[in-house]
Amino acid sequence: MNIILVPYDFSAQSQLALDWSVSLSLKTKSKVILLYVHESQGFIPSIIRPQDDEELLEHINDQLDTVAAKITLSTGADVEVKVLTGRVYRVIVEVAASIKATFIVMGMRSHFPDERDEKPMPGRNTSRVIRMAGCPVITLAGNALPAGFSYLLLPLDLTKITRQKTAWAIRMAGFLGTGIKAVSALWTLNDPEIMARLLLQMDTVRQTIEAAGIACRTHLIETPAGEKTAVPAILDYVEKEGDIGLIVIMTQQERALVDFFVGSHAQEFIRCSPLPVMSVVPEEQAGTIY
């Protein structure tokens, strides 16, 4: 059985993540685990009696049970509740490993709640979960869920790790019943050698995806001069296409023949994308908790 782990703290963004997860669970017949992590910090533990803390956790558990019951009643989804104490990111990663979660789905709240023009930054817990989890982590930074989409977006590079990302994109497209748009981006379309290698790679990826029974379209995106990364150009492409509902990326910096995805492109996608972003950790890097 597929299991979707949803860290939940009653915020609007965690509710958005829960709504998205329930929709996915109905398509995949997955169980949803709703996890609240209580993390006591600073001087608070010294002034709160243990029984008060226990009462708080019981109250939170009751509230989560109510949330889960309403979802099950209205949708038929299988929702289970967990309330645990500890460091948030550690508990999330450890629970995901223990239940063999297929995905972790997290809402991402802005560090700039009073500044509407600012893009949210992944918090410490979100960033650590993305890096350490042994399963893909889907983050939602937007304030609405995509509706009626037909494709996932798969940004490509020229590394062998792209195979892992492609495999997950195929699996996710199968879950959601969508096709895949595979794109490569570079600063100039005039270099014949780079063009030839990117086109060959895109054709190979397209054949792999279509062999799995998933519709695939490919596209080369030219990045405007002066941009430090290709992410803005790719997100512009997403907006213009209007039929993409999820972006699949790797968490490590990807390297290509051109200066593609300079710096922390993963954070930029997660921070700037209005769509959910699925971060896939390279297999050799997953599962380390520190």
The helix/strand/coil state of 137 is: strand
pLDDT in tens, 26-57: 988 899 999 999 986 544 444 445 456 788 88
**Would you say residue 106 lies in a domain?**
yes
Please indicate, yes or no, whether residues 65 and 172 belong to a single structural domain of this protein.
no
Rg (CA), the chain: 20
160 and 136 both lie in a single domain: no
Q: How confident is the model at residue 67 (pLDDT cuts 50, 70, 90)?
A: very high
**Domain boundary residue, one of 82, 108, 140:** 140
| pTM for this predicted structure | 0.84
Domain carrying residue 214: 151-285
Task: Give which of 257, 250, 242 is closest to 196, Cα–Cα.
Answer: 257
Chain-centroid distance of CA 261 in Å reads: 18
Range 204-211 average pLDDT? 95
Quote the CA–CA distance of 181 and 169 in Å, as a whole number.
10
Computed over every residue of the chain, the mean pLDDT equals 82
Question: Does residue 208 register a pLDDT over 60?
Answer: yes
> How far is Cα 46 from Cα 24, in angstroms, rounded to an integer?
42
User: Do residues 93 and 164 share a domain?
Assistant: no
pLDDT for 127: 84
Tens of pLDDT, residue by residue over 71-122, are 999 999 999 999 999 999 999 999 999 999 999 999 986 544 444 445 555 5
> Per mean pLDDT, which of 111-120, 151-160, 189-198 is the most reliable?
151-160
Q: What per-residue confidence (pLDDT) applies to 43?
A: 42
Q: Is the pLDDT of residue 218 over 60?
A: yes
d(C-alpha 163, C-alpha 253), whole Å: 15
Are 35 and 80 in contact by the 8 Å Cβ rule? The answer is no
